[in-house]
């Protein structure tokens, strides 16, 4: 397995936990989602220095943007999230 594939898998996992925390914003789920994202950041930083195709880079940026958006949504109060 290539390094970029491993990082994409970790990113998908972090995104899934963040979405689960949106559905059930318990302190435990939100904390775990944030922890997964925080642990992923050094991996993504290292991946930026590695060779990858343009498509892989775009996919990485897209997933990171999605993860940041979901984590930002977790910061908003529940009543704001439900009305959006």
CA distances from 63 to 66, 79, 84 (A): 5, 26, 21
Which of 41-45, 59-63, 65-69 shows the lowest per-residue confidence on average (mean pLDDT)?
41-45
Q: What is the pLDDT of residue 76?
A: 78
65: pLDDT strictly greater than 90 = yes
**Cα–Cα distance for residue pair 80/83, rounded to 1 Å:** 5
Q: Quick one: pLDDT band at residue 79, thresholds 50, 70, 90?
A: low
Q: What is the pLDDT of residue 62?
A: 94
40: pLDDT strictly greater than 60 = yes
Which of 11-15, 28-32, 52-56 shows the lowest per-residue confidence on average (mean pLDDT)?
52-56
């Amino acid at each position: 397995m290539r390094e970029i594939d491993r990082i994409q898998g970790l990113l998908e996992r972090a995104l899934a936990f963040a979405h689960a925390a949106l559905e059930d914003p318990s302190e435990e789920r939100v904390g775990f989602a944030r922890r997964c994202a925080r642990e992923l950041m050094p991996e993504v930083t290292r991946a930026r220095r590695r060779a990858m195709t343009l498509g892989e880079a775009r996919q990485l940026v897209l997933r990171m943007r999605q993860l940041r958006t979901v984590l930002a949504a977790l910061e908003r109060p529940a009543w704001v999230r439900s009305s959006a």
